[in-house]
RNA sequence: GGGCACUUAGCUCAGCGGUAGAGCACCGCUUUCACACGGCGGGGGUCGCAGGUUCAAACCCUGCAGUGCCCACCA
């Protein structure tokens, strides 16, 4: 459910749960003592999101930082997929809005003038359905058509609409409150609603213009009729469902013969009352002889023709098919070809009407089915009943089988509007990401059918059409205009009756990209922010919304509504099942926010947002990313406890970093920042999150902060000062990079670290995005530190594998070291000793008895483990290691021995293999030496 | 019936032509002064199956099997 109004979106969080959590939340934020604690005291070890999130959101919003037009930068615009005004936040919203917020926050920090346009949708059927249900519980019905029956009180149209508005005012704020909880930095000052005054005006103008251009017209044909809501629905609102039914074989007596029958097979015997023909295939030998004759319709006695039509499939059923043009789309076409009458045998709620024989009148279509089958059987006309599984179209909202129903409705000529919309994507003016959706879009657009836009409902935009006494239609912006036209037409004033129907909800959302910017007025905002940059939405509404926005926008704005459409996946449960209330597997984003914090939920959804693949969400993942927030929190504590600050005059350009560890972390952060930006540019949100996770935890915390410990505890004042500055700097820049994904914790730490008071930076959300390309990369530092990481890791592995007690501090030495390695051992002695828990580290030429030799790149380490380790275990370790390297060498040798490889492979690849072979062989040979030494000591 | 995805470690998934990766789970060790929501180390995979292309395939092509989704006229 990527969008609120998607067909399967009725799985939302409950109102009460979120309501409770919000009050609990604001309460705790007020009472927390932490807020009052002096900022220089060591903060709590654990990050507690609930205590700070509300505070930050209020601050952001009050500061005006969300507003568009704050600066004169290049505009960057996203329109929110408007959620149902009375809905509440579900996981699809959480994903959808997190991704949009990341893009917006990132571009805002990059200096773009960002507009994230918020708003809500009136959600016609869905909302009317909810309110009708509420009313029904009070014994109140609506004074329209057949719904009236049996209700104590009936509301007029005006009363009902007023009631919906009242409900909208009461519960319309839920979803916007919840978007705040998530951290969405939308421009609330521009919030719109699809039924507010401006947008309603846009809807009217679009309808009138399209009508005048001949692109909206009225037509009488079969529609998908929803007998529960008594309204037409569009093809898209029809949901095929597999149903176990029967195939009934029925004998229709041949007219003029006492013992001949034509046998038809049907899944819907009740519609036979509306049959006006039987069709057989022209080549079907079984029935050919009856073509041109008539059958007597059982139970009715009507004479109906037997016609030849290729629609009839000899393979299916009996090969003879009953034709009911009034209640079947195919039969309608057959009827048209053979000039058959389309009999309407149903009332709007699918009860049999007065065109059928007396005994069946008033029966519901399912009762009628039973009754008719029974009557046929009694008359000996039922040949057999076969169980039959088939697909039956259902209303996606009502859940009842839809009825093909002959009515007059308003249609949009979608085929015409689709032409420029197809062309725009063909030309790449709008691009789908992932690209695979382009195909889906084309397929649908190229086979598009007329869009039925009228709905027999009360909640929505009433169609601006008025009828004169002779049913002549006047389409106009308002009643006065319609009267004027009518007067001109009739030459006098006449009574006009307004069309009672409203428009499909998606009609107004199709205009969203420009109507929210003020269209049809030529506002400065429309000029500045249209077309929008990106639309972020779920694949389930490509047809409902994306395609229709393309059509309407291109028609009225002569330009695409958005340059990129990023299509994200569905959020499923941990087992990959669609979340649904009936399955009870719905995860409530608000509950997860309460439990782990909005940042943790946001990071989780981002890290799982692989393009083109559904998200399987398990609570454990959220917990894991909550832990990540805590890790960051503690890294900041470390910086604070070690008095790390960025000096006012600190600049990477002017300062020569004397400590390689500092040069290294700058280079690592540089790579991470660049990789992050690259990932985001390609909408690879998962990669963007992964890069930062790996940097912060795997590089900055696991290694860099550990490297700083010996320096900060040492005596070299200059080294200490530089390291403090770089630590604070790296933390500061990391907070900027993380902010789009985790706005709350980064903002809190930003303040706690005093980056805000630094004066130059101000609020983190408005801080300048780092220009990582300008930071120095230091390949020499990278090579050195990578070597240190390798050496330390190897010592740790050896200690662990040979069960050296954790507390044991070893006096290590090194031999066979290259000049570079010797230099590094000396310069990094402190760091290696601290991280590998060594007592000392010195050069040595000899190896003491029982010492273990550890082969590292460019050197051999000697560790005095006599008496600590088991020689047999050590031998096994060496042998295992040697065997692995031998395997590696053999593999590379095989490749290098292949003349084709040398001749055809990229020379760089060949060289890489040669180098690797040399390295592996050197290591292997030193291991063999070490093993020999061990054997010699036995 | 047509189309689109997916199938890689116990689980969830990255990788999409040049030494098989992550997170979680699991197993050791570890409660030393950023963090036990932690630290250190480890085990674990013939990358669905069968062919083909290539010096080289988890990655490209073909076929098959399984799973999911979308579209399609309810005999």
DSSP character string of A304-372: EEEEE-TTS-TTSTTSEEEE-TTS-HHHHHHHHHTT------B-TTSBB-TTS-GGGTT-BHHHHHHHH
Smallest CA-to-CA distance from A788 within A845, A826, A819 is with A826
What are the C-alpha distances in Å from A605 to residues A57, A512, A630, A926? 20, 26, 18, 48
The C-alpha atoms of residue A931 and residue A855 are separated, in whole angstroms, by: 11
In contact, A552 and A510? CB cutoff 8 Å: yes
User: What pLDDT, in 10s, does the model give residues A421-448?
Assistant: 999 999 999 998 888 888 888 888 988 8
Find the nucleotide nearest A243 (Cα to C1′): B74
Instruction: Tell me: pLDDT of A39 over 60.
Output: no
What sign results for the dihedral spanned by CA atoms A101, A105, A110, A116?
positive
- Per the structure, the residue whose CA is closest to nucleotide B15 at C1' is A687
What sign does the dihedral A430-A83-A235-A558 (CA atoms) show?
negative
Beta carbons of A5 and A123 less than 8 angstroms apart: yes
**Count of alpha carbons within 13 angstroms of residue A573, beta-carbon side:** 13
Say how far apart CA A607 and CA A18 lie, in whole Å: 25
User: Using one digit for the tens of pLDDT, what is the confidence trace for A743-796?
Assistant: 999 999 999 888 876 545 578 999 999 999 999 988 888 889 989 998 999 899
Our measurement of CA A639 to C1' B33, in angstroms, reads 14
Q: What is the pLDDT of residue A152?
A: 67
Report pLDDT digits (tens) over A531-572: 999 999 988 888 889 999 999 999 999 999 999 999 888 777
Closest protein residue to B25 using CA and C1' atoms? A620
Give the pLDDT score at A136.
84
Query: Which regions of A479-560 does DSSP assign to beta strands (E)?
Result: 497-498, 502-503, 532-538
pLDDT of residue A497 exceeding 50: yes
Length of chain A: 938
Residues A247 and A242: their CA atoms lie apart, in Å, by: 14
Mean pLDDT value across residues A591-599: 90
* DSSP tag of A271: G
Tens digit of each residue's pLDDT (9 = 90 or more) over A247-274: 899 999 988 888 888 899 898 999 999 8
Specify whether the CB–CB gap between A818 and A791 falls below 8 A: no
User: ∠ at Cα A122 (A121, A124), nearest 5°?
Assistant: 125
Given this model, what pLDDT does residue A925 score? 86
Q: Is A267 exposed, middle or buried (0-12, 13-18, 19+ CB in 10 A)?
A: middle
Where b means 16+ CB within 10 Å and e means fewer, A107-145 reads: bbbeebbbbbbbbbbbbbbbbbbbbbeebeeeebbbebe
Q: What is residue A2's predicted lDDT score, i.e. its pLDDT?
A: 36
Give the span between the Cα atoms of A734 and A672, in whole angstroms: 9
- Which has more pLDDT, A710 or A397? A710
Round and report the angstrom distance from CA (A905) to C1' (B17): 11
Instruction: Report the alpha-carbon distance of residue A266 to residue A158 in Å, rounded.
Output: 44
Q: Which of A238-242, A292-296, A697-701 has the lowest mean pLDDT?
A: A238-242
User: Is the pLDDT at A466 greater than 80, yes or no?
Assistant: yes
- Max mean pLDDT among A2-11, A81-90, A521-530, A569-578 falls in A521-530
Cβ neighbours, 10 Å, residue A14: 14
Q: Which nucleotide has the least CA–C1' distance to A630?
A: B37
Sign of the CA dihedral with A419 first, then A424, A426, and A432 last:
negative
Q: Could you report the per-residue pLDDT of A319-333, keeping only the tens digit for each?
A: 889 999 989 988 988
Cβ within 8 Å of residue A28, ≥6 positions away: A50, A51
Closest residue (Cα, C1') to B43: A801
Is pLDDT at A32 greater than 60 in this prediction? no
- Smallest Cα–Cα separation from A627: which of A697, A732, A554? A697
Tell me, in Å, how far CA of A437 is from C1' of B60?
22
pLDDT digits (tens, 9 = 90+) for A893-908: 888 888 889 988 888 8
**What is the predicted pLDDT for the residue at A18?**
29
Confidence of residue A348 (pLDDT cuts 50, 70, 90): confident
Tell me if A850 sits within 8 A of A867, measured CB to CB.
Answer: yes
Residue A146 has pLDDT above 70, yes or no: no
Residue A891 CA and nucleotide B20 C1' are separated, in Å, by 15
Phi, psi for residue A810 in degrees, rounded to 5:
-100, 150
The answer to whether the bond into A531 is cis (omega within 30° of 0) is: yes
pLDDT the model gives residue A655:
64
**How long is the CA A510 to C1' B43 vector, in angstroms?**
56
Per-residue pLDDT at A315: 81
CA–CA separation, A586 vs A597, rounded Å?
18
Which nucleotides of strand B lie within 7 A of protein CB?
3-6, 11-15, 18-19, 22-25, 28-31, 33-42, 54-56, 69-75
Mean pLDDT on A459-477: 93
* DSSP H or E run through A307: strand A303-308
Instruction: Reply yes or no on whether the pLDDT at A530 is more than 70.
Output: yes
Q: How many CB atoms lie within 10 A of CB A95?
A: 29
Give the distance, in angstroms, between residue A101 CA and nucleotide B7 C1'. Answer: 33
Nucleotide at minimal C1' distance from the A626 CA: B37
CA distance linking residue A600 with residue A738, whole number of Å: 12
């Amino acid at each position: 459910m990527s969008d609120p109004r998607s067909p399967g979106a009725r799985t939302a969080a409950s109102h009460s749960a979120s309501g409770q959590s919000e009050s609990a939340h604001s309460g705790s934020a007020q009472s927390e003592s932490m807020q009052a604690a002096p900022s220089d005291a060591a903060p709590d070890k654990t990050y507690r999101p609930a205590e700070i999130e509300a505070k930050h959101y209020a601050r952001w919003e009050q500061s005006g930082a969300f507003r568009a037009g704050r600066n004169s930068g290049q505009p960057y615009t996203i329109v929110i997929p408007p959620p149902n005004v009375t809905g509440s936040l579900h996981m699809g919203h959480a994903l959808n809005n997190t991704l949009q917020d990341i893009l917006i926050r990132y571009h805002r920090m990059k200096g773009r003038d960002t507009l994230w346009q918020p708003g809500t949708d009136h959600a016609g059927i869905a909302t009317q359905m909810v309110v009708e249900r509420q009313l029904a519980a009070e014994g109140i019905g609506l004074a329209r058509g057949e719904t009236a029956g049996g209700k104590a009180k009936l509301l007029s149209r005006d009363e009902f609409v007023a009631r919906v508005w009242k409900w909208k005012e009461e519960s319309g704020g839920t979803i916007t409150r919840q978007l705040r909880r998530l951290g969405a930095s939308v421009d609330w000052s521009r919030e719109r609603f699809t039924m507010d005054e401006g947008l309603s005006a846009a809807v009217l103008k679009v309808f009138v213009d399209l009508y005048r251009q001949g692109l909206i017209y009225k037509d009488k044909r079969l529609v998908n009729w929803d007998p529960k809501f008594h309204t037409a629905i569009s093809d898209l609102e029809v949901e095929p469902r597999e149903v176990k039914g029967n195939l009934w074989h029925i004998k229709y007596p041949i007219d003029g013969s006492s013992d001949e029958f034509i046998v038809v097979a049907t899944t819907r015997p009740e519609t036979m009352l509306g049959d006006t023909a039987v069709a057989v295939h022209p080549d079907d030998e079984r029935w050919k002889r009856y073509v041109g004759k008539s059958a007597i319709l059982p139970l009715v006695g009507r004479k109906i023709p037997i016609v030849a039509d290729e629609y009839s499939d000899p393979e299916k059923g009996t090969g003879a098919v009953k034709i009911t043009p009034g209640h079947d789309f195919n039969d309608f076409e057959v009827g048209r070809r053979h000039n058959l009458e389309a009999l309407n045998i149903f009332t709007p709620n699918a009860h049999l009407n007065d065109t059928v024989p007396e005994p069946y009148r008033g029966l519901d279509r399912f009762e009628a089915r039973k009754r008719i089958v029974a009557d046929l059987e009694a008359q000996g006309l039922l040949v057999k009943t076969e169980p039959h599984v088939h697909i039956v179209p259902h209303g996606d909202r009502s859940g009842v089988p839809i009825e093909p129903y002959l009515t007059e409705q308003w249609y949009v000529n979608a085929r015409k509007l689709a032409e420029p919309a197809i062309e725009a994507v063909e030309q790449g003016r709008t691009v789908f990401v992932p690209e695979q959706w382009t195909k889906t879009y084309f397929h649908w657009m190229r086979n598009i059918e007329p869009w039925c836009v009228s709905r027999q409902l009360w909640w929505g935009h009433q169609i601006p059409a008025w009828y004169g006494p002779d049913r002549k239609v006047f389409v106009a912006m308002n009643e006065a205009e319609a009267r004027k036209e009518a007067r001109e037409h009739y030459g006098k004033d006449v009574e006009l009756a307004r069309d009672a129907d409203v428009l499909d909800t998606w009609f107004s959302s199709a205009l969203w990209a420009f109507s929210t910017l003020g269209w049809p007025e030529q506002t400065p905002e429309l000029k500045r922010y249209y077309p929008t940059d990106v639309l972020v939405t779920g694949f389930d509404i490509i047809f409902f919304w994306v395609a229709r926005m393309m059509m309407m926008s291109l028609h009225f704005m002569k330009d695409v509504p958005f340059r990129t459409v990023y299509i994200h996946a569905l959020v499923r449960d941990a087992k990959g099942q669609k979340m649904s209330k009936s399955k009870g597997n719905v995860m409530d984003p608000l509950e997860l926010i309460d439990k782990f914090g909005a940042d943790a939920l946001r990071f989780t959804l981002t890290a799982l947002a692989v393009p083109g693949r559904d998200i399987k969400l398990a609570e454990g993942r959220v917990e894991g990313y909550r832990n990540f927030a805590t890790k960051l929190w503690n890294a900041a504590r470390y910086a604070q406890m070690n008095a790390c600050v960025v000096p006012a005059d600190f600049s990477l350009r002017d300062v020569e970093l004397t400590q390689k560890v500092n040069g290294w972390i700058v280079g690592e952060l540089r790579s991470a920042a660049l990789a992050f930006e690259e990932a985001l540019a390609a909408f690879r949100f998962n990669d963007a999150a992964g890069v930062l996770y790996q940097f912060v935890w795997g590089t900055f915390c696991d290694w860099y902060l550990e490297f700083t410990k010996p320096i900060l505890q040492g005596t070299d004042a200059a080294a200490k000062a530089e390291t403090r500055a770089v630590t604070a700097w790296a933390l500061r820049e990391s907070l900027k990079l993380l902010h789009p994904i985790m706005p709350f914790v980064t903002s809190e730490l930003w303040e706690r670290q005093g980056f805000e008071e630094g004066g130059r930076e101000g609020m983190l959300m408005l801080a300048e995005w780092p220009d990582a390309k300008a930071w120095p990369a230091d390949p020499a530092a990278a090579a050195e530190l990578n070597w240190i990481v390798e050496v330390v890791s190897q010592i740790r592995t050896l200690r662990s594998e040979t069960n050296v007690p954790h507390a044991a501090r070893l006096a290590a030495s090194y031999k066979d070291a290259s000049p570079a390695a010797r230099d590094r051992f000396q310069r990094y002695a402190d760091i290696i000793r601290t991280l590998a828990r060594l007592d000392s580290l010195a050069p040595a030429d000899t190896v003491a008895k029982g010492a273990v030799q550890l082969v590292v790149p460019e050197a051999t380490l000697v560790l005095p483990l006599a008496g600590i380790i088991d020689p047999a275990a050590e031998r096994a370790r060496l042998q295992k290691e040697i065997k692995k390297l031998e395997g590696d060498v053999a593999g590379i040798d095989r490749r290098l021995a292949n003349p084709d490889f040398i001749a055809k492979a990229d020379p760089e690849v060949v060289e890489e293999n040669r180098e690797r072979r040399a390295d592996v062989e050197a290591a292997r040979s030193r291991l063999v030496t070490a093993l020999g030494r061990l054997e010699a000591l036995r």
